[in-house]
Amino acid sequence: MKTRQTILLIACAILLGLNVSMAAEPNYPTKPVELSVGVEPGGGIDLSARMIAERIKPHLGQEMVVVNKPGAGGRVALTFLSKAKPDGYSLTSVGDPAIVLIPHLEKVMYDPIDDFTSVIQYGSFNIGYSVLADSPFQSIKDLIAFARANPEKLTVCSMAVDSPGSIGFQAMALHEGVKVKIVPFSGSGPAISAVLGGHVTVAGTSLSSQMPHIKAKKFRLLAVMGDERDPAYPETPTLKELGYPIVLESWYYIYGPKNMEKPVVKKLEEAFRKVIDSPEFTKFAQERLFWVKRPVAGEDLRTALVRRHKEHGELLKKLGMIK
């Protein structure tokens, strides 16, 4: 008898709980918030999301649970998110290309801007171009000169052809009217080993993947693709400084489904900002080279994404990758 009563009580409690969460919520959040990640456990964005989720509880008042929904460079997670309820309990940690780059090249199941509510940016990382330290190339100029003298001989490794590292170098080659060869790899690890082994000349991957080898003086970093120089490598010029109109940054940010209520977004933004500004997270982000000085949030983030989405589209059009 007693057990039956207990079960009944628990059921009532659950029902009540549900009711509370279904009504408009003045005291959001009242249950754990799910933060999905579009990569397998361990990818760069997965770790950063877990770092944040681990630390956000005191600021949010509820647990944040990281759930991996890997697939198609984050597109699977975003498709799920675009169909989720905008109640503030479903969020996604997004890697940039699925928003500003891929939708130009392929049909996606969501509108990259309008189907979502932008919450806050929490990181930005640079793509760098490195060569072996004992190679004769001292600068991007040397690489271009070599490519001009030897058409289709200069090899650059990156992720797939639609990755920022690949697009940046193609844009540069197009600007100079030279022909280079992009060798695609499935991850930065194999790409870096191919450069270390002398099979491919230039590494065009995330700066953090090249860092150990730059530190060990095996790699020479020639340029980065961000808007500003990377704080970790202040001597290395950006492509923009070298005279190429190419800025390709990769951002990390938090997205929710569209039509989230303003106060909920505000509450989330504040909680996230407290974690992002904490010395522990800053240190982690600095070490992994995705640190941002002033994370943009809310409407500002949306505006920035609209602009970057457009810029990427124009660049791809120039490259002839889209008509």
**Contact residues for another protein (CB under 8 A)?**
40-43, 46-47, 50-51, 53-54, 67-72, 75-76, 79, 105-106, 109, 152, 155, 160-162, 181-186, 189-190, 192-194, 196-200, 211-213, 215-216, 218, 280, 283-284, 287-288
Whole-number minimum distance, CB 229 to another protein, in Å?
Answer: 21
CB closer to another protein, 162 vs 176: 162
CB closer to another protein, 100 vs 182: 182
Whole-number minimum distance, CB 157 to another protein, in Å?
Answer: 8
Phi/psi at 41 (5° precision)? -55, 135
Whole-number minimum distance, CB 199 to another protein, in Å?
Answer: 3
CB closer to another protein, 139 vs 278: 278
CB closer to another protein, 124 vs 166: 166
Bridging pattern class, strands 128-132 and 64-68: unpaired
Whole-number minimum distance, CB 319 to another protein, in Å?
Answer: 14
How far, CA to CA in Å, does 168 sit from each of 30, 122, 197, 290, 322? 45, 23, 23, 18, 15
Element at 2 (helix H, strand E):
helix 2-22
Whole-number minimum distance, CB 50 to another protein, in Å?
Answer: 5
CB closer to another protein, 45 vs 264: 45
3-state secondary structure 26-73: CCCCCCCEEEEECCCCCCHHHHHHHHHHHHHHHHHCCCEEEEECCCHH
Whole-number minimum distance, CB 315 to another protein, in Å?
Answer: 16
Report d(CA 97, CA 102) in Å as an integer. 6
3-state secondary structure 259-290: CCCHHHHHHHHHHHHHHHHCHHHHHHHHHCCC
Answer positive or negative: Cα dihedral of 273, 52, 43, 90. Answer: negative
Q: How many residues does the chain have?
A: 323
Question: What SS3 state is found at 84?
Answer: coil
| Nearest partner of 112 among 120, 125, 121, 101, judged by Cα | 101
CB closer to another protein, 127 vs 192: 192
CB closer to another protein, 244 vs 252: 252
Answer positive or negative: Cα dihedral of 185, 188, 190, 191. Answer: positive
Q: Assign residue 298 a region (left: φ > 0; alpha: ψ between -120 and 50; beta: otherwise).
A: left
Whole-number minimum distance, CB 5 to another protein, in Å?
Answer: 30
Bridging pattern class, strands 250-257 and 90-95: antiparallel
Whole-number minimum distance, CB 181 to another protein, in Å?
Answer: 6
CB closer to another protein, 16 vs 160: 160
